[in-house]
Chains A and B, each alone.
Chain A
């Protein structure tokens, strides 16, 4: 078997002591299929799909929680949920939707698309990528295991101290350690995607030629890189307070509980942009394709995204106006809060200008994108009102705030993500989603969304506080709460339509590689893409590369389709394969590698990193460690720690490509070595 890197330690086969489990768990290879194939995969596309699927599952869970909350609040003096149950469910609803839904959905899309959009064959650290997913799953399940172990977290998604320091039971402990685990997933993902975008761009893919989704995801990953350690510290301090009775948030010992709010929102406000920037990127991809025009003001879009990324660090205290920060701090943060609306407004005008005079096709992805622009504008405007301190002091802790962040996170992020779901679904699966059902989904969701969250503005201005489990009749809140509850079920119906759509189109017609006549590199390869993405690493000559390969301009500057049979030397390797072949999906690499001799035109031998058990193993150790910590069963904690430690060592000693795995031919551009040292 020919291996490209000769210095690779062949001697690893007789496993060193630490590596002993390898004998039982034989190294998975490109031939490993089925459930083990998925559990050991390092393919960024499979990992992206697992992220998306898991996050969608959590979306349904968080949605059911929302329905329970809405049933409880639908009528005054309701007794459907007890106060304590209500606290657990609203805490878990917020935590789930932010950490287990929108973040991993964005991470999943970025995982799948970023490498392809920049013309790479995988991410920079494929095994670290797998680790990110498994740690996310472990963290999510750990958080939800609290329901079975004495009650879920009940201190709200931002867990203000000293309440969370002093609440009895293990509820908050699960929140602290669950978020800590999820932070590791986000951090590894951020490092991986940053290195991928910085380092693995195809020849000619300069920064200012990158698709805008890549740009916005990159900014979001940088925000994660710097925001995660801040909440890690905050959670450590709170965890130490709860486990070891330290004094960080012990007011009796002279501590200042505002520290928690500063640390939390120093993470929490960049987090808002982590949630919205990828959705902005998606919309910026979808609008040009369905308007058949390039994105208006690409450079301005990029720089306003970067500006949002920087300014997002200077507005956190607007979450704390009611705490009495003093006039100077309040004025400064008020100004910065209003000022950050400028780059956001620039984006909104650019999206409108992109559609202006375009040949618009009202397909489902476009509808969701337009829905995003409209709903996000409403949410953004109510956000500016929070920047006005006197108004904010009135609005704080009322349903007006709840209205605002649902308009930006649901009306913004989720609409954007659904736009991306309809847009890229054919790329992921090879099947187009049904347009009629898609449009029913959109209209139900738009109506249901506004019915549910629009009334929150009114309720909030009428003084209905958030986080109350019930309210007395006769305050003028009954009617709008009922409307909101009905609206929430309309949203549920729209999500059901989406699920039916996905199930029904499973056996539908093949989408082909480029169903939307799109502009970016992912549409040059088959749907679903082969494991190695590109047969030949593409040479990029312009922004909207694929569009320029397909179209040229006539004298009047109108787009004219090129003759596809000639004039495209770089397309040689990317020609459309018959879709039946694309069906075999990830299998055809390994199946072909079996004979390892053919120079068949259609079956290139491309060297891909081997699958590995160790990311899964490392992730498994984390809940064990955390259960041990929470219950102060130090034996379990130490065992979990040792498990993680051993797995990291086995991982570090395992070569990125197994010696017995797929043979290599031709230029090896993707088989970069992974992680030589166990980074902590």
Chain B
């Protein structure tokens, strides 16, 4: 109870250069982002559980997954989204090197890949609606659109954050010292990608 500290007599802990003066050595922003992503896990967990619960419970005779799914098409758009994680990593590596031209190229590429995925999802949704599937038609429709729609909204927000980074970089407001901002957006981006792997498997691949 009376254990004493052996640290130096100063009132400030010695801080290693390059490390923020926090108890963990990580910046507040990074710890905050991890906490937020942990919370997001339960958001998607609850949505995916809902989908799984209701998957086989639609009224007979209404539209079924195998009536509408075009697995090769969705595989391609999934591939596009997964590749965007690679370009995100390249963007982070570039800004950490101080290579701002490549940073911008890779950030823009990531945003474009993400936007392609969202566009692909819009096209897919349109096709499904034309095939007679919508939010109201049955449980499959409701849970499919809400789950994938939530994910699409997350990707869209990610694209907006990437475009903001791009414009900051263009205006010279994204110096090397702010590489962590790119890293944080990257954390979010990778999370959204990983969630898609789960959703793609659960919704499209598992019969």
A residues sitting closer than 8 Å to B (CB atoms) are 7, 9, 11, 124-125, 187, 190-192, 194-195, 198-201, 203-205, 225-230, 232-234, 236-237, 240, 244-248, 253-256, 259, 263, 266, 294, 536-544, 548, 569-570, 573, 649, 652, 667, 669, 672-673, 675-680
Contact = CB atoms under 8 A, between A and B. Distances in A.
Interface in B1-38: 1-5, 7, 9-13, 20-24, 26-29, 31-33, 35-36, 38
Contacts of A253: 58-59, 138-139
B38 A203 contact: no
B101 interface: no
Interface string B56-80: 0111000000000000000000000
> What DSSP secondary structure best describes chain B's contact surface?
helix
25 contacts: A7-B175, A9-B173, A125-B28, A190-B35, A192-B32, A194-B31, A195-B32, A198-B24, A203-B12, A229-B40, A229-B41, A233-B46, A237-B146, A240-B135, A253-B138, A259-B54, A537-B12, A539-B10, A543-B1, A544-B1, A548-B2, A570-B11, A669-B21, A676-B181, A678-B160
Smallest CB-CB A-B distances: 3 pairs: A229-B43, A233-B46, A246-B142
Contact of B39 (A226, A256, A544): A226
A244 B185 CA distance: 32
A245 B136 CA distance: 6
A425 B160 CA distance: 45
B151 interface: no
A226 B35 CA distance: 9
A225 B39 contact: yes
Contact of A538 (B4, B11, B21, B38): B11
A544 B141 CA distance: 58
A254 B50 contact: no
Given A7-B175, A204-B13, 20 more contacts: A7-B178, A200-B22, A200-B23, A200-B28, A204-B5, A227-B42, A229-B43, A237-B146, A246-B142, A247-B141, A248-B50, A253-B59, A255-B139, A259-B53, A266-B46, A537-B12, A667-B12, A678-B164, A680-B154, A680-B157
A254 B139 contact: yes
Interface of B: 1-5, 7, 9-13, 20-24, 26-29, 31-33, 35-36, 38-43, 46-47, 50, 53-54, 57-59, 135-136, 138-139, 141-143, 146, 150, 154, 157, 160-161, 164-165, 173, 175, 177-178, 180-181, 184-185, 188
A673 B27 CA distance: 10
A245 B59 CA distance: 16
A253 B60 CA distance: 10
Contacts of A649: 164
Given A199-B26, A240-B142, A679 B7 contact: no
Nearest to A224: B39
Contacts of A675: 29
B24 A199 contact: yes
